[in-house]
Structures are given as structure tokens and as C-alpha cells.
């Protein structure tokens, strides 16, 4: 493993700038998500796309396609609160008043 050391100074709010050659080598752009980990007395920064590639073999593959999932979602989509729920809520509130909670 080749290591390249560069000294950087944190800004007022703790931000650091990764050197251009590091960003280019790792393909880091302004939109790249980075995983930042504290390992003992070291800060380890790994581009998320690299982590995803490392763990891709352990990702569970979906059993249905995205299209089928969206169709099922439409089928089950409905109101979260029905008129019957309103009736039940009123009934429960009345019974709570009896107990004077």
C-alpha cells in the first residue's frame, strides 16, 4: 500500500480540504458522499461508492422489480385515517372521560 502524506490545517469550524491529487485519484467530486470514521486516533474517510462496491456482495437482492413494487404500492395506497377511525376515537375519548384521566 502506497501512502502519501500531506499536511492540512483545519479551518475554524473543523473543515479540511482534501488535496486535489487525492480527490482525483479517488474520483471524489463535490457530490460524492464520504463515510468518515474515527478509528482510535485516526480519521478514516472513504468515498461511499467505494464502500458500496466493497459490500455489494452482501446486499440482499429484491424479490420483485421496481415496477411491480410501484404497482403494489398503488394497490394498497389509501387513506391512513377513515371515518370509522373517527367514530372509534370519539368512543374512546368518551370512555376516558369516565375514568377522568
The pLDDT assigned to 36 comes to 93
Domain ranges within the chain, ordered by starting residue: 66-99
Q: pTM for this one?
A: 0.46
Digitized pLDDT (tens) for each residue of the chain, 101 residues in all: 678 889 999 999 999 999 999 999 988 988 888 999 999 999 999 888 766 666 666 667 788 998 998 888 887 776 677 888 889 989 988 887 766 65
The pLDDT assigned to 11 comes to 95
- Please check whether residue 22 is in contact with residue 38, taking contact to mean a CB–CB distance below 8 angstroms: no
- Give the three cell numbers for residue 19: 488535496
Provide the β-strand partners of residue 43: 38
Amino acid at each position: 500500500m502506497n501512502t502519501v502524506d500531506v499536511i492540512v490545517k483545519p479551518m475554524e469550524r473543523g473543515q479540511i480540504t482534501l488535496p486535489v491529487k487525492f480527490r482525483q485519484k479517488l474520483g471524489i467530486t463535490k457530490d460524492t458522499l464520504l463515510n468518515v470514521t474515527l478509528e482510535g486516533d485516526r480519521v478514516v474517510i472513504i468515498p461511499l461508492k467505494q464502500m458500496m462496491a466493497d459490500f455489494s456482495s452482501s446486499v440482499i437482492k429484491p424479490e420483485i422489480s421496481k415496477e411491480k413494487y410501484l404497482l403494489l404500492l398503488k394497490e394498497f395506497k389509501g387513506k391512513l385515517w377513515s371515518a370509522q377511525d373517527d367514530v372509534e376515537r370519539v368512543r374512546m375519548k368518551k370512555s376516558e372521560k369516565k375514568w377522568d384521566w
